[in-house]
Structure 1
Amino acid sequence: MGREYIAKSFKSGNSVAIRIPAALGVEPDQEWIVARDDSGDLLIRPKPQAKAKLDVSKFWGKAKGLKVPGRRDFDERPSTIAARAANATK
């Protein structure tokens, strides 16, 4: 185990907080998982980073001739069917 530091807990709103000494190299705004084991010790470990998601918003319109398929997972509203029929007769 490395060097030990003393930290004092304090009230912060409706929570209790503990300051982490800067010498431990903890970066601000990092998320942590905090748990208590069977012996009562607090365990603190970094929260795993979420996998990066692919942003497809800039791909819209890039594939010429690609048509978005119509949704078939719901029944159309009667007003939509009537509007389509009215437009078809014009």
Structure 2
Amino acid sequence: MTKEYRAKVFKSGNSLALRLPKALGITEGDDVVIAPHKDGSFSLWKESDSLSVLMGLYGAFSPGFMGRGRRDTDQEDYDWGDGDAGGRAA
């Protein structure tokens, strides 16, 4: 397991800020992605590492994930004739 860091949130102008330890390897000017989770936790990574993060998630799926394929879903026919973006065929 990796080392755990603790930090305090503070007010900076009209925003909230979080001081990150240098040991995390994030440098001034780096773009980061912050992903909130349903349980209230967050994940944070450098935007330049997004592909690595995505590929790391690949192994997180359960062995039977999509074992039966996507399966087709019922979809309504779309009326492309009148140019109306929301027009569905009856």
TM class by shorter chain equals 0.3 to 0.5
The TM-score, its normalising length taken from structure 1, stands at 0.48
Considering only CA atoms, is the larger Rg found in Structure 1 or Structure 2? 1
TM-score w.r.t. structure 2 length? 0.48
